[in-house]
Structure 1
């Protein structure tokens, strides 16, 4: 029992010291665990650790974080000693009899601050070490070797830091003695002391401590007024976070010291204020509208609230889209009649932060680079989170091209779309968001009672401003004549020659869990209860109708990309300022945007009168762009997957295995050996967003498959109307254009495992190696050996899509001619692609045979 009591005393004594140092300990523990343990934070560190980086060098901010954590811990413990000496607290006589107890207390009292500071540096070392191991496991040994060097450097820095602060008195005395001075009288030699007032601290040290406390309001104002410029000046998200962690130590430690001195819970009340004040007075996380921007100095007429009321209904836009596309599509000529059937392209782009945005711009940009009138044929783009950013970038590139060439009948080709999209994405969007989150949102939570007088922009607005700046820096704003701070409806509908491709960005309602669609068109009219609208109206909300105002283009993206932590749920207020609800990331409902794409195809192809009467017939084409390398296969029925295509199952090594529940190959996962009350429901709900997305994507493919025969039969009936043409003759005519009944106009561009390359992480700031690996996933660029590999099957999807558009537009009479056209357009011909005649059909048909 004595041994147990001694062990308990030792633990409680150490816990008490940690509790006294709780401000620096929490800053290092939370920041260190994020940096060392999360893929996103680790990738941000390694992505911005280049010596050529602008702004503050990362090693300097790491050192500042460590020194701040160590010294505030040291000062706090010295104030604790001073208070204990002043109050002369009694000591337990049993503990006083233990000879080892004073040594134990003195050891941790001396070393705990040193360990806290050293742990800050070691977390960065561990991040590089993990990066080395992960990249080596993927086979990217060159990158792994590059991460090993900084890992060793930061490990050495950790050891050096510890010994310098541990032996700082001896080192200072040696330097003073070497200079001919007296170490016992020199103020340069630090001495341990029990503090009872800040005046007892050396003047220079006291000034540095006060300066670290006062730096917080300075950076609050800098990030509140100019988040993007301040972030750019500091260099990167890493320096912003590290400096923020350092500053987050000063003011809380100051409150802890005052709590020790006065026996009043200043620190506890401050923590309570962070939780209670926003609940009592509201927060600063409302969605920006054009109505709000109109109140700011220098407001222009490019973002007007009333524009939201004039948005056209999706059916009206479809009529104009059809008339424009009928002019660029060769009619199907029957015996005595003809019918024009343009391909209607609907894009669904999944979420995944910058990873999804970059991949979406590359897929759409590469198609627009080679496929004539691709932007004209795309009717709708439904995006989620990073996919919303990618589709909005592409839509902006299309609009800029149209405005740059007045009188042009749409965007024929966009040869620079992929490069321009990459230029936009290659920016640090995370820095401004995290900067405002650390320096503005956090402190303002405790002062939320000031909200009615003044509320600063939150981190979601900082993210929007980063996108606005990226569009300005791209130079396309001068060509296109619009900015991302302009209104969504005015830019892509009111002032646009064509309101398509329609942008439909998917968010999620916090209160109801339903979709919130933010779009430059309406998906419902005033008579929607009469059943004349697109179905599913009760399952979704219109974001602009809720707020009764148009919003900036950048804000429209965050309506879909409000992922927790990086950007909070946004409050939506109507014209009277009443809070209606909150919007959060659309991926929390389903991460693909496929539900709205499915609803739109069902409405335009199957249900409207023009389709049923074959007055405006179309052939629907669905393009799904996913960004999760570990995604399961999306198919209708079991079958052999594309040869060599493997999802990136983590940890590295396992391949997809048949699941006992459905016998479909999936990435294996380890089941938890025990149940947890809170974690299990949250994990199931979060993972369900991808499962629901897979379900919606499969339903979208099913819609394409199910409408194929219906479209063929309608076209056959249209060609036979008023003639004596036989069904077989009309069927042959239709199939000569739209193909046999075995085609599937569903194209899935996905990410997967790439040999000797690590898959990109979901973050708003990825490294150059991530861009390179995603380019390899496209299957379009030559490998170092000169071959064009197709690890994810995307090269085949590009070629299949080209073939279908070539045939449906009437550019080629058969698949053989289409193959020749696509090859000359710059699409690599997939291995296993062969053309041969089909029994009973005079034309050649091409198929992929692995």
Structure 2
């Protein structure tokens, strides 16, 4: 028995050794033979993942595809070139990345094996550079084919695939191709390693010089103007060109140190790490002027009451709307701006009912867009404001961020002095330039240009009498996780002597810390520091860094927490007004969530007698029912490693859902007759209307990505949904459950605002039980 065990153990050990000898050792030797190409493999692998898997990368590719969309159709060759220009630049960028990948991989193979005459017999060494050279074409083609909707997707993907085939043929038959165009000797002079200069060929030396010249020119240009060049060639082309321009200098460094086996990449990372610790170019931009005085909460409340519309049925009631704008980059920006502008069209004095907008991340862009358009327009034309705001929120803000990442921010990591603006500065300049560009097109707005580049608090100044809602733009402090709010309201309450405390629990007032005026674009960025796209902003108090501001979504993703806390702070003022002047406030929470609900055509009815348990939603609207068990698929693979990170990001949405669930439980929704008594209500005895508007998506539709650029069909889908929603509609005409929920939410908002003949009960009775 013992002998048998020993034999089995020996057999198992022998099998393991045999496996290692047969598979692992050759595999390791093969990897070591091409280890100099690890940078190319890593870079191309990262690029492939970005365009194939990451939603933001997929949406950038979708934007390229949509440049040919009928939604972008315009007459004339000049207009055609203007809308398709990013596509042509993308072809150039993919070709450049493919050429650079092949050429410099071939150089590194030659440098290592130039003294081994037989290396060309190794098919892997010969074929691998060619394969790397066609990876960009293949990744781009597959990314286009994976786009669910778009015009001419197959021809565009086929074009890239055919370019990849042509590129491979060139890499393979380059001598013959060039010889056919000139002479064989010319081909050998271009691609044979005859120059002693770093063992480069003439072609490699030419490409290196051109690449370095292009990189330096681009760096110089973007360091002064981070918008024009990125806007000219587009986000996707800029990213691929950035990858292409990084390859030559890194490849030359690897080639120069091959014999010494110096760890070039590790050394570069160490240099960047040390410089980053000594140089900080991520300061939050401030102006030299001190922050001007801001209105107290009481003064703002009194001014709002003086102009706010009353409930037509009861003039002693003043509907007070608190808007919460959730985060989500450009998709949140356009959903927030377009929805508020649409409500202004439906009810021209709607903005006068809105006391404040609490916004997070991309929602901050939409909120500022909305308020700034009122300032620019003097509040006279909701339709003109809506068209302007939609165009602005649809701008490409991602291209300046990519330009900042690949050029100024990347270069700064190796320069021991803070000489370059960071990518947050690039995005802010994108906010400013795009705003002024749309102003130039608008023409009819009285005071438009310079609002994004001007002082944030100037949005509430000027001669216009139109009411502009207060803004609370929520960011997060990295070091302690508390929110930091940039607002036109003073958010500290003064007590006796020098004592003061925040009006919102455990929050910081940005202006109280910075004590400096800031641009409007910077106020947006204080909330919208989208993860990795924007760096953490260094927050200074009288010269010293006291923290770093990151995206507001880390604190909570919807803005609802801040709206609820603001209402809590106002409650004593509202109670005093009700007691003394018999004017009572009716708080209304309007939450704009940009995460789409996947919809389907089918049974659109629900049980009005069971609104809190409805399969459609809570209260017949779009608030999801509270779950009794998790619905997400549990993770098991590498969960020990990724659980903390996944859990961290999941809590962002969970915190918002808890607040929204509390609001839903307080909501009032009178039950129709026949449900056990007309006096019964779903919700608490002291209801607070909470309305939730969410975009709908059919299963075949392409999802809106959380990116700083959105495609034209996506923008059109948002606007088409809003155009179908009306505050004064009498009956419901929805054919899908999500669209029904949208219409019910609009009916509930109309009832809360006191618009006659739009009670939810009447709408439900007419539509569900005709």
SS across alignment from 1:187: helix
> What is the TM-score of this pair, normalised by structure 1?
0.76
For the pair shown, the structure with the greater C-alpha radius of gyration is 1
CA 1:472/1:239 → structure 2, altered by over 3 Å: closer, same or farther?
Answer: same
1:785-843 CA-partner distances (Å, limit 9, x unpaired): x9765633223322332233234xxxx4xx3xx57xxxxxxxxx9995447xxxxxxxx
Within 5 A, what are the aligned runs for 1:480-499?
480-481=447-448, 482-493=450-461, 497=465
1:458-485 CA-partner distances (Å, limit 9, x unpaired): 1111111111112112226962255211
Name the counterpart of 2:653. Answer: 690
Residues 361, 394 of structure 1: 8 Å contact kept: yes
SS across alignment from 2:345: helix
1:724-745 CA-partner distances (Å, limit 9, x unpaired): xxxxxxxxxxx9xxxx989762
Name the counterpart of 2:153. Answer: 147
CA 1:236/1:191 → structure 2, altered by over 3 Å: closer, same or farther?
Answer: closer
CA 1:30/1:18 → structure 2, altered by over 3 Å: closer, same or farther?
Answer: farther
Residues 590, 692 of structure 1: 8 Å contact kept: yes
Match of 1:67 among 99, 105, 111: 99
1:249-281 CA-partner distances (Å, limit 9, x unpaired): 1111121112125554454322211122111x1
CA 1:365/1:498 → structure 2, altered by over 3 Å: closer, same or farther?
Answer: closer
Whole-angstrom distance in 2 between the partners of 1:562 and 1:318 = 30
CA 1:268/1:535 → structure 2, altered by over 3 Å: closer, same or farther?
Answer: closer
Whole-angstrom distance in 2 between the partners of 1:498 and 1:28 = 53
Whole-angstrom distance in 2 between the partners of 1:150 and 1:430 = 22
Say yes or no: does 1:232 pair with 2:264: no
SS across alignment from 1:571: strand
Match of 2:85 among 11, 32, 54: 54
1:729-774 CA-partner distances (Å, limit 9, x unpaired): xxxxxx9xxxx98976211101233264223111111112211332
Match of 1:385 among 339, 342, 361: 361
SS across alignment from 2:357: strand
SS across alignment from 2:187: coil
| Structure 1 range deviating more: 767-776 or 236-245 | 767-776
CA 1:232/1:564 → structure 2, altered by over 3 Å: closer, same or farther?
Answer: same
Name the counterpart of 1:159. Answer: 165
SS across alignment from 2:486: strand
SS across alignment from 1:472: helix
Whole-angstrom distance in 1 between the partners of 2:569 and 2:619 = 37
CA 1:218/1:6 → structure 2, altered by over 3 Å: closer, same or farther?
Answer: farther
Whole-angstrom distance in 1 between the partners of 2:138 and 2:625 = 38
Whole-angstrom distance in 1 between the partners of 2:458 and 2:621 = 44
CA 1:396/1:674 → structure 2, altered by over 3 Å: closer, same or farther?
Answer: same
Residues 345, 380 of structure 1: 8 Å contact kept: yes
Name the counterpart of 2:300. Answer: 317
CA 1:458/1:191 → structure 2, altered by over 3 Å: closer, same or farther?
Answer: closer
Name the counterpart of 1:244. Answer: 242
Match of 2:377 among 373, 376, 401: 401
Say yes or no: does 1:466 pair with 2:430: yes
Say yes or no: does 1:639 pair with 2:583: no
Name the counterpart of 1:432. Answer: 400
SS across alignment from 1:167: helix
Say yes or no: does 1:305 pair with 2:290: yes
Say yes or no: does 1:752 pair with 2:696: yes
CA 1:645/1:166 → structure 2, altered by over 3 Å: closer, same or farther?
Answer: farther
SS across alignment from 2:356: strand
Whole-angstrom distance in 1 between the partners of 2:175 and 2:707 = 44
Residues 493, 503 of structure 2: 8 Å contact kept: no
Name the counterpart of 1:349. Answer: 325
Whole-angstrom distance in 2 between the partners of 1:516 and 1:529 = 24
Name the counterpart of 1:415. Answer: 383
CA 1:534/1:799 → structure 2, altered by over 3 Å: closer, same or farther?
Answer: farther
Whole-angstrom distance in 2 between the partners of 1:742 and 1:417 = 37
Name the counterpart of 2:576. Answer: 610
Whole-angstrom distance in 1 between the partners of 2:663 and 2:95 = 53
Residues 121, 158 of structure 1: 8 Å contact kept: yes
CA 1:636/1:513 → structure 2, altered by over 3 Å: closer, same or farther?
Answer: farther
Shift of 1:675: 5.1
CA 1:848/1:577 → structure 2, altered by over 3 Å: closer, same or farther?
Answer: farther
Say yes or no: does 1:543 pair with 2:510: yes
Name the counterpart of 1:582. Answer: 548
| Structure 1 range deviating more: 772-781 or 544-553 | 772-781
CA 1:75/1:492 → structure 2, altered by over 3 Å: closer, same or farther?
Answer: same
CA 1:472/1:657 → structure 2, altered by over 3 Å: closer, same or farther?
Answer: closer
SS across alignment from 2:494: coil
Residues 375, 398 of structure 1: 8 Å contact kept: no
The runs of 5 or more residues in structure 2 that have no matched partner are 1-16, 69-80, 600-605, 671-678, 727-731
Within 5 A, what are the aligned runs for 1:535-684?
535-537=503-505, 539-574=506-541, 576-605=542-571, 610-611=576-577, 613-615=579-581, 616-630=583-597, 637-641=612-616, 662=628, 668-674=631-637, 676-684=639-647
Residues 758, 773 of structure 1: 8 Å contact kept: no
CA 1:195/1:696 → structure 2, altered by over 3 Å: closer, same or farther?
Answer: farther
CA 1:214/1:57 → structure 2, altered by over 3 Å: closer, same or farther?
Answer: closer
Residues 317, 499 of structure 1: 8 Å contact kept: no
Within 5 A, what are the aligned runs for 1:794-833?
794-807=742-755, 812=756, 815=757, 833=764
Residues 255, 267 of structure 1: 8 Å contact kept: no
Shift of 1:677: 2.7
Whole-angstrom distance in 2 between the partners of 1:459 and 1:192 = 38
Shift of 1:48: 1.8
1:433-476 CA-partner distances (Å, limit 9, x unpaired): 111111110121121x212xxx3211111111111112112226
Match of 1:771 among 684, 702, 715: 715
Within 5 A, what are the aligned runs for 1:134-283?
135=148, 143=150, 146-173=152-179, 175=180, 183=184, 186-189=185-188, 197-198=196-197, 201-203=200-202, 205-233=204-232, 235-260=233-258, 263-279=261-277, 281-283=278-280
Whole-angstrom distance in 2 between the partners of 1:237 and 1:343 = 43
Shift of 1:245: 0.6
Residues 169, 190 of structure 1: 8 Å contact kept: no
1:113-165 CA-partner distances (Å, limit 9, x unpaired): 1111111111111212222xxx2xxxx5xx3x732332333233333322321
Shift of 1:486: 1.0
Whole-angstrom distance in 1 between the partners of 2:363 and 2:317 = 29
Name the counterpart of 1:716. Answer: none
Residues 321, 500 of structure 1: 8 Å contact kept: no
SS across alignment from 2:614: coil
Residues 372, 412 of structure 1: 8 Å contact kept: no
Whole-angstrom distance in 2 between the partners of 1:254 and 1:801 = 64
Count matched residues. Answer: 705
SS across alignment from 2:323: strand
Name the counterpart of 1:114. Answer: 130
Whole-angstrom distance in 2 between the partners of 1:486 and 1:48 = 32
Name the counterpart of 2:57. Answer: 41
Whole-angstrom distance in 2 between the partners of 1:396 and 1:3 = 68
Residues 621, 692 of structure 2: 8 Å contact kept: no
CA 1:491/1:305 → structure 2, altered by over 3 Å: closer, same or farther?
Answer: farther
Residues 222, 404 of structure 2: 8 Å contact kept: yes
> What is the TM-score of this pair, normalised by structure 2?
0.83
Match of 1:286 among 283, 296, 318: 283
Shift of 1:419: 1.8
SS across alignment from 1:260: coil
1:339-369 CA-partner distances (Å, limit 9, x unpaired): 6321111100101111111111121111101
CA 1:848/1:546 → structure 2, altered by over 3 Å: closer, same or farther?
Answer: farther
Name the counterpart of 2:42. Answer: 26
